[in-house]
């Protein structure tokens, strides 16, 4: 079965990719992922704050405590709490490139254009085949309107785009006032890919200790439908290739993502939970599923349930929401 796909301009043997996270910290795990059929490797992010902090420490050691980035404070990790420092990160890119043949994608994570983005170029020089830019931002400033937040992200994408020659993917959250419009404006900055969607950390409150709880729960498949809707809406309407991230665990999650329009399917929680071999299982099950449903290739299926091509395009819109609420009956 032909599982090949094109993502970020790469001809990949199949759509399954371990997403950004701790999986690529360990070279043995990276090898096991490639053996299991990973079509590419995405490394964890290097953070804007980490880079800026390190530079502040280098250039003005005595001023470090005065550093006041938007989210700085007691929650800001100290440099030794990051898994990889900036130099170690670049070294890890070189090491991974030595042990795998598939494309290696690095990740930058930040919110403002500026000097820290020179790491995009450094990652390219270290051997990265592509870069994922994670623009995780929380718009908490009531004085800042949506356009200003969006423009800042687009400026950042343009800055990185012009600094590197390797393909650039932008990893987005769904929390924009008019996501379709934003995605189209972003697409004009010519990223090679969009990754839908960042999974936001959500706070809980420890009512005894009066603290905000910091717990990272792995995802499950219930997080996928939000991604499916927007993949389906963007598929065929943007130049960028599309990757899904968030809630892909089973072969049916993979099939749905591709039908909605994903060129690549990223997974983190599922691989952390089951180990790298899960990738091989999904790949086999995907082949089997396509054969049983008489597809000749994965490409034949891709986008078949996008809003452009599915039999009922309104299915992704308000009409279906009304229908669902009105037709609900107790079991
Ligand atoms: C432990 C952990 C670390 C992560 N680190 C990063 C990161 O450094 N950069 C990033 O863009 N996403 C990071 N993510 C988010 C994942 O790449 C992914 O988008 C998210 O977990 C949703 O996919 P999943 O449902 O397959 O887990 C991390 C996720 C986990 C669980």
Separation of CA 200 and ligand 1 centre (Å)? 9
Ligand 1 pocket (Cβ < 6 Å) reads 19-22, 44-45, 107, 109, 134, 171, 199, 216, 218-219, 223, 245-248, 267-270
Separation of CA 21 and ligand 1 centre (Å)? 5
pLDDT score for 58 = 65
Phi, psi torsion values for 257, nearest 5 degrees? -60, -45
pTM: 0.93
Separation of CA 233 and ligand 1 centre (Å)? 23
Q: Considering Cα of 183, then 186, then 192, then 196, what sign does the dihedral take?
A: negative
pLDDT score for 63 = 46
pLDDT score for 206 = 94
pLDDT score for 212 = 93
Ligand 1 nearest atom to the CA of residue 198, by list position: 19
pLDDT score for 76 = 66
Distance of CA 68 to the CA centre of its chain: 27
pLDDT score for 286 = 98
Q: Of 16, 17, 21, 29, which is best to mutate to test ligand 1, by the most ligand atoms within 8 angstroms of its C-beta? A: 21
Separation of CA 308 and ligand 1 centre (Å)? 30
Q: What does the alpha-carbon distance between residue 253 and residue 249 come to, in Å, rounded to a whole number? A: 6
pLDDT score for 214 = 84
10 Å CB burial of residue 209 (0-12, 13-18, 19+) is: exposed
pLDDT score for 57 = 72
10 Å CB burial of residue 216 (0-12, 13-18, 19+) is: exposed
Separation of CA 269 and ligand 1 centre (Å)? 8
Run means of pLDDT, 10 residues per run, the chain, 331 residues: 98 98 97 98 94 74 45 62 89 98 97 90 97 92 95 95 97 94 97 94 91 91 97 97 98 98 98 97 98 98 94 83 89 87
Q: For the stretch 229-238, what's the b/e string if a residue is b when 16 or more beta carbons lie within 10 angstroms of its beta carbon? A: bbbbbbbeeb
pLDDT score for 136 = 86
Ligand 1 nearest atom to the CA of residue 247, by list position: 25
Ligand 1 nearest atom to the CA of residue 267, by list position: 26
pLDDT score for 59 = 56
Q: Of 268, 270, 282, which is best to mutate to test ligand 1, by the most ligand atoms within 8 angstroms of its C-beta? A: 268
Helix spans in the chain (H): 27-35, 48-59, 86-99, 118-126, 146-163, 179-187, 224-234, 251-260, 269-274, 277-292, 298-301, 318-327
Q: Of 15, 18, 19, which is best to mutate to test ligand 1, by the most ligand atoms within 8 angstroms of its C-beta? A: 19
């Amino acid at each position: 079965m032909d599982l090949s796909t094109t993502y970020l301009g790469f001809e990949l043997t199949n759509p399954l990719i371990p997403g950004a996270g701790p999986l690529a910290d360990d070279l043995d795990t990276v090898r096991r992922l490639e053996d299991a059929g990973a079509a590419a490797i995405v490394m964890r992010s290097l953070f804007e704050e980490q880079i800026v902090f390190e530079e502040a420490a280098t250039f003005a050691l005595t001023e470090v405590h005065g550093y006041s980035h938007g989210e700085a404070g007691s929650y800001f990790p100290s440099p030794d709490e990051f898994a990889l420092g900036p130099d170690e990160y670049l070294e890890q890119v070189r090491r991974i490139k030595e042990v795998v043949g598939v494309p290696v994608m690095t990740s930058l994570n930040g919110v403002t254009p500026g000097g820290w983005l020179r790491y995009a170029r450094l990652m390219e020089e270290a051997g990265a085949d592509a870069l994922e830019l994670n623009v995780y931002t929380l718009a908490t400033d009531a004085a800042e309107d949506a356009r200003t937040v969006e423009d800042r992200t687009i400026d950042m994408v343009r800055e990185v785009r012009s600094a590197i020659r390797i393909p650039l993917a932008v990893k987005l959250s769904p929390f924009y006032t008019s996501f379709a419009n934003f995605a189209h404006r972003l697409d004009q900055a010519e990223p090679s890919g969009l990754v839908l969607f960042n999974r936001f950390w959500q706070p809980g409150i420890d009512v005894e200790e009066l603290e905000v709880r910091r717990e990272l729960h792995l995802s499950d498949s219930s997080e996928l439908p939000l991604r499916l809707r927007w993949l389906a809406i963007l598929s065929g309407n943007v130049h960028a290739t599309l990757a899904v991230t968030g809630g892909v665990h089973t072969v049916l999650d993979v099939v749905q993502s591709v039908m909605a329009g994903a060129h690549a399917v990223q997974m983190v929680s599922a691989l952390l939970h089951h180990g790298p071999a899960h990738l091989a299982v999904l790949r086999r099950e995907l082949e089997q599923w396509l054969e049983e449903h008489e597809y000749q290739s994965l490409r034949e299926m891709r986008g078949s349930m996008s809003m452009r091509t599915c039999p009922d395009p309104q299915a992704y819109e308000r009409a279906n929401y009304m229908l669902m609420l009105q037709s609900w009956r107790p079991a």
